[in-house]
Structure 1
Amino acid sequence: MPKISSKGLQMPASPIRKLTPYAEKAKRDGKIVYHLNIGQPDIETPAGMIDAIKNIDFKVWAYTQSEGTPEYRKKLTEYYVKNGYSITPEDILVTDGGSEALTIAISACMDHGEEVIVPEPFYANYNAFTCLADVVVKPIRSTIETGFALPPISEFERMITPKTKAILICSPNNPTGYLYSREELEELKRLVLKYDLFLISDEAYREFCYDGKKFISPGHLEGLEDHFIMIDTVSKRYSACGARLGALVTRNKEVFASALKYAQARLAPPAVAQIAATAAVDTPQSYFDEVIKEYTERRNLLVSSLNKMEGVYCPNPGGAFYAVVRLPIDDSDRFCEWILDKFSYENQTVMMAPATGFYSTAGGGRNEVRMAYVINQEHLKKAMICLEKALLEYPGRMLDNLKTNTILAS
């Protein structure tokens, strides 16, 4: 039998989706499964997007331009300008989701064997995207004790080699919810300019900032025009994950021209999604105000519930809708499989993502899980009860390591 490629063997499985067979079996067995494993919001998509799809009136479902329709790029520019960016339609490449935007950015900017520095834990699929391009991830560890704050800039500088080509960040962060400050971004800016690096910024969760905190992008800072590449998506902003529509945004004309060739090779981004997303730009602020209010309440419920459990610690996320949680367990992969396969409380159980998949460093996240607070508060309360009961029954509970949680979420 022919053998698959070494790249196929190296391609990492998704920690977010790899336990799906266990969840499906639990459902077939009659269990209720509370999904905290994936960032699929239950918030309704704006009515304007749905209405735009319903009112489509074309006779031929045709290709669009490889860079996206002029109508959508112009409308998206209005959104960016409103949010403080100096962007024109010519800076926007519309993509098949944020995932394609990042895959194209990596391939357009980095050669085989070159390196990208990424604070970890990071979105698990960064490992997959870099694997596709034969690019090397150089992880730099942030810790749960600091709430996953950006590591000191001196640690970044120590990691820079002649092969370093870029720094990749995500703010608000997936999986930690950490929101980078202006001061942290200014430090990154100085480093990027000093070593002539690209700064790739994944901004999928821009809208979701809590407690009055403001989102700051590297794109808001002067002097990064040739270095900054934004990765964007409508998936989370408008609760439209199935639209599979994103954008690569850069004022660097060489990067854009290179990225466009990759976009031409895949022909065109989805036409219907662009029609819906064009309408979405006019979504009123009241929609986002309600969403932020709901996510803030869910976050508060999740964090307070977790920190009341013996041996559990969860920092208070500043944005997005995720939290990385430290549990008194021996192995997060084993625990997340066990809770689906072997455990139930009143015929209910919980699906989470093992945090090991969000680290590139071997051994990272072995006693951590990522939770997405994207289910309603009633179900979230029940999920927390299930988790607390499961931790008491789990055979790999680390009793010797238990200590009273004296660290307050902040």
Structure 2
Amino acid sequence: MPSVSHRSETVPLSPFRKLIPYADKAKAAGRHVYHLNIGQPDIKTHPRAVSRFRELDWDVLEYSPSNGIASYRKALTGYYARFGVTLSEDNIMVTTGGSEAILFFMLACLDPGDEIIVPEPFYANYNGYAHIADVRVVAITSHIEDGFSLPSPEAFANKITRRTRAIIITSPNNPTGACYSDEEMDSLAAIVKENDLFLCADEVYREFAYETELRSVLQIPGLEEHAIVIDSVSKRYSATGARVGALVCRNPDILAGVDRFAKLRLSPPGLGQMLSECMLQDDAAYLAGVKDDYRARRDTVYRRLQEMPGVFSYRPGGAFYCFARFPIADSEDFCRWLLEDFEHDGATVMLAPGPGFYATPGLGKSECRIAYVLNVDDLEKAMDCLAAALRVYPGRLVEKVGVL
């Protein structure tokens, strides 16, 4: 029997989805599962855009250009202009979700064996795409005690080797909700310029910064040849199934390299681009309402975590995620137990275990990511489940960790 590739057997599993079989069994047994494990919002996709999309007149769903439909890329330049970024359509490569943009960035900017520095915990699929591209993730640990603020410039400098080619950050951050300040971004800009590196910023949660407006890397002077932005409509407009993202930069060599890969896969999703172009129209009120909704959800989860003995957490500044440290020794076991052995009022809760968001072995074993993607009423019920579970979990530790 022919053997499959080593690559396919060793690619890291998604921490968001590895517990799904347990969740399916819980549902089959009649329990309701509150999904706080994955960033799938329950907010309606931009309703006015959906109405416009349904009225579009088309007869043939043809290939779009490999870099995306021209009118959509033109509309995106208007979106970026809202926060002071001047671009041409040629600076934008439309991709099949932000996921493809991440992979295209790695393939275009790094060779096999090159290194990319990433603050951990980080979006777990970076590991998978790095595996596919045969590049090495070099992690710098950030800490829950200070809300996962960006590590010091010295910490980054100490990780740079002759194989380092890029730094990648996510702000607002998935999985922590941390938002990086102008001072932190300026320190990163100085490092990448001094060491001639790329700075890739995953900005898909840009609209959801709750205390202060964030500066895009595209707004930092002197990074025209260094900065790459990963973007997506998935979370901004609650349209995860549209599968439309973008890689945005001003470096013509990067864009030329990405274009070669884009031509090989022919085109990004046509229907998704048509919907996305509709979503860019008259979106200010929609985005403001969604942001207010997520802020209320954030505050609900933070308040409830504070009330749970032994739980350590913080108030995230953006996105719709937070990490929490629980009085447990093994978050993988805790998350499995929640689905296999626990119920409260006929329900249980699904979280994402912390270790999958770290590259450093042993980290995150007492932590879980919570995605506050449900409405406030459901979040309250989910937190009821979590509080009840922590009171009876057989693996609960005695010591209390406290709450920020």
Settle same-fold status: TM greater than 0.5: yes
- Aligned residue number for residue 402 of structure 1: 400
- Aligned residue number for residue 237 of structure 1: 236
- Superposed CA RMSD in Å reads 0.9
1:50 aligns with 2:44: no
- Aligned residue number for residue 25 of structure 1: 25
Deviation, 1:53, is 2.7
Partners of 1:216 and 1:75 in 2: CA distance: 21
For 2:229, what is the secondary structure of its paired residue? strand
Unaligned runs of 5+ in 2: none
Deviations 1:275-302 (A, max 9, x none): 1111111133221221111111111110
- Residue 53 of structure 1 contacts residue 272 of structure 1 at CA under 8 Å; is this kept in 2? no
1:132 aligns with 2:132: yes
Partners of 2:282 and 2:356 in 1: CA distance: 35
1:318 aligns with 2:317: yes
Give the partner amino acid of 1:134.
D
Partners of 1:169 and 1:95 in 2: CA distance: 19
Give the partner amino acid of 1:366.
K
Deviation, 1:304, is 1.0
TM-score between the two structures when normalised by the length of structure 1: 0.97
1:292 aligns with 2:291: yes
Partners of 1:348 and 1:43 in 2: CA distance: 21
Partners of 1:7 and 1:312 in 2: CA distance: 38
Structure 1 segments of 4+ aligned residues over 4 angstroms from their partners: none
- Residue 48 of structure 1 contacts residue 276 of structure 1 at CA under 8 Å; is this kept in 2? no
Partners of 1:274 and 1:250 in 2: CA distance: 19
- Aligned residue number for residue 357 of structure 1: 356
- Aligned residue number for residue 327 of structure 2: 328
1:170 aligns with 2:170: yes
1:110 aligns with 2:147: no
Give the partner amino acid of 2:14.
S
- Aligned residue number for residue 256 of structure 2: 257
Give the partner amino acid of 1:160.
I
More moved, 155-164 vs 296-305: 296-305
- Aligned residue number for residue 83 of structure 1: 83
For 1:398, what is the secondary structure of its paired residue? coil
More moved, 350-359 vs 39-48: 39-48
Deviation, 1:83, is 1.8
TM-score between the two structures when normalised by the length of structure 2: 0.99
Equivalences, count? 404
Deviations 1:138-165 (A, max 9, x none): 0000000010000111010000000000
Alignment of 1:134-173 (within 5 A): 134-173=134-173
- Aligned residue number for residue 283 of structure 1: 282
- Aligned residue number for residue 209 of structure 1: 209
- Aligned residue number for residue 72 of structure 2: 72
Deviations 1:16-36 (A, max 9, x none): 011111111111111011000
For 1:272, what is the secondary structure of its paired residue? helix
- Residue 45 of structure 2 contacts residue 238 of structure 2 at CA under 8 Å; is this kept in 1? yes
Partners of 1:34 and 1:283 in 2: CA distance: 32
Alignment of 1:356-395 (within 5 A): 356-395=355-394
- Residue 97 of structure 1 contacts residue 233 of structure 1 at CA under 8 Å; is this kept in 2? yes
- Residue 50 of structure 2 contacts residue 278 of structure 2 at CA under 8 Å; is this kept in 1? no
Partners of 1:119 and 1:283 in 2: CA distance: 36
- Residue 52 of structure 1 contacts residue 275 of structure 1 at CA under 8 Å; is this kept in 2? no
Partners of 2:253 and 2:298 in 1: CA distance: 41
Deviation, 1:12, is 0.8
